[in-house]
Homo-oligomer: A and B are copies of this chain.
Amino acid sequence: MTQQTLVLDEKRNVTLTCYLQPVGGKFDYVRRRPAMLILPGGAYQYCSDREADPVAFAYLKAGYQVFILRYSVAENCAWPAPLMDYDQAMGMIRSRADEWNVYPDKVAVLGFSAGGHLAAAAATMGMQRPNAALLGYAVTGNDVKACNPTAPDCCGMVDEKTCPCFVFAARDDDVVPVMNSIRFLEALTEKGIAYESHIYSQGGHGFSTAEECVQNPKAPKSARVRSWVEDSIGWLEEIFGTFDGEGGLTKPTVRAHLNGDYEAFLSADCTVGCLLKNEESRKILMPLLASMQNGGAADAMDRQNVEKLVSPMRLADVLKFAGAPEAAVKKLDVQLRAIPNR
């Protein structure tokens, strides 16, 4: 492994520490690696060492190229300096992807506490959006004003371009209320973004990897807290794929969006609920739903309830479940793809 620290902004004391692993040679079936950009916490007053190296080791072990960004804090923390630091770091990782053996479209960001706020901002407002974002006991809402009055609320900024997220925290966090995480999940849900979330019963604020070498073992803590590290690596494998033994990565198993509801044109990949809201597609769907009412499963329910029941499902799934031939689904899909979404 090589280790170097690049100065991104001397005046604001912004640095990027790079931990780079080799490819080829004894790792002959690894040609590039996914990357992790870590944003330590520290109330925008400092960047905590507890949320830097110890976290880096976990992703290095999993085969990642790992970067730690020490962004603008204290007297330099006024917005948008920290987000600019992030954009500069992410841009550099992507532009030097060949040199650093990184997949430029497989770069995740992981932030803790105030760093979690910055990661959430990166995912929702960044010029260089990450490909996945991990938020640890993050400040995502207006609570951020307490430590950085110029920093924005992120929950309201979640949009269709927001990347898949992994959100974790402890219920008994008495510094950043867990409602920050809940509200962010709500916003992700509303925009149809893929995510995973773990809120642990006990763990307080700032548990980092929750190893005994990182968090004082006297702090009350659920045994499950430390699972987030391995769980996040498993989740990233769903988003990025995993080493395929032939120099690349396998195909991801999770898409950024759960369905087609946020695409420019409608399709059979949209939920029934979405298709019913659009006047044109509604006309196409209604006869289909009517015919389904005569099916066995719906015996006890009236039309309104069938609609409610299938409303969150993708149309393609509903049709498949109802036994429609593949050709029919395809035909319908073509029809829908001609209709602009909204």
Q: Name A's B-contacting residues (CB within 8 A).
A: 1, 3, 21-22, 25-27, 29-30, 33, 45, 48-50, 53-54, 57-58, 60-63, 74-75, 143, 145-147, 149, 171-179, 182-183, 185-186, 189, 194-202, 209, 211-214, 216-218, 220, 222-224, 227, 231, 234-235, 238, 242-245, 253-254, 258, 300-301, 305, 308-309, 311-314, 317
Task: List, sorted by A's number, 22 A–B pairs whose CB atoms are closer than 8 Å.
Answer: A22-B49, A26-B48, A26-B49, A27-B213, A45-B300, A54-B61, A57-B57, A57-B60, A61-B209, A63-B212, A146-B308, A146-B309, A171-B196, A171-B258, A175-B309, A196-B200, A197-B198, A198-B198, A202-B238, A216-B245, A217-B245, A218-B245
- Assembled-state Cα–Cα distance A214/B28 (Å): 10
Q: Which of B53, B189, B213 contacts A179 (CB 8 A)?
A: B189
A48 to B146, CA, bound (A): 49
Given A198-B197, A212-B242, A235-B201, A253-B220 contact (CB < 8 Å): yes
Q: Which residues of B contact A214 (CB under 8 A)?
A: 27, 63
- Give Cα A22 to B178, complex, Å: 31
Task: Report B-chain residues with C-beta under 8 Å of the C-beta of A49.
Answer: 22, 25-27
- The closest CB in chain B to the CB of A204 belongs to B317
Docked pose: A223 CA to B48 CA in angstroms: 31
CB closest chain-B residue, reference A34: B213
Tell me, rounded to whole Å, the shortest Cβ–Cβ distance linking A45 to chain B: 7
Question: Which residues of chain B have C-beta atoms less than 8 A from A235's C-beta?
Answer: 201, 222, 224
Residues of B within 8 A of A218 (CB): 245
Contact B211 A63 (CB under 8 A): yes
The distance in angstroms between the C-alpha atoms of A22 and B222, with both chains bound, is: 27
The CA-CA distance from A201 to B146 in the complex, in Å, is 32
The reply to whether B178 and A189 contact each other, CB–CB distance below 8 Å, is yes
Complex contact B149–A305 (CB within 8 A): yes
With A212-B242, A218-B245 given, name 15 new contacts (CB 8 A).
A1-B53, A22-B49, A25-B49, A27-B49, A45-B300, A57-B57, A58-B61, A61-B211, A75-B300, A178-B189, A182-B182, A196-B222, A201-B235, A216-B245, A224-B234
Q: How far is the CB of A198 from chain B (nearest CB, A)?
A: 5
Cross-chain contact of A253 among B202, B238, B253 (Cβ < 8 A): B202
Name A305's closest neighbour in chain B (CB-CB). Answer: B146
Known: A186-B182, A238-B202, A242-B212. A57 touches B53 (CB 8 A): no
What's the Cα separation between A185 and B201 when bound, in Å? 12
A1 / chain B contacts, CB cutoff of 8 Å: 3, 53
A199 with B201: CB separation less than 8 A: no
Residue of B nearest to A311 (CB): B146
- Nearest first, the 3 closest Cβ-Cβ pairs linking A and B are A63-B213, A146-B308, A57-B61
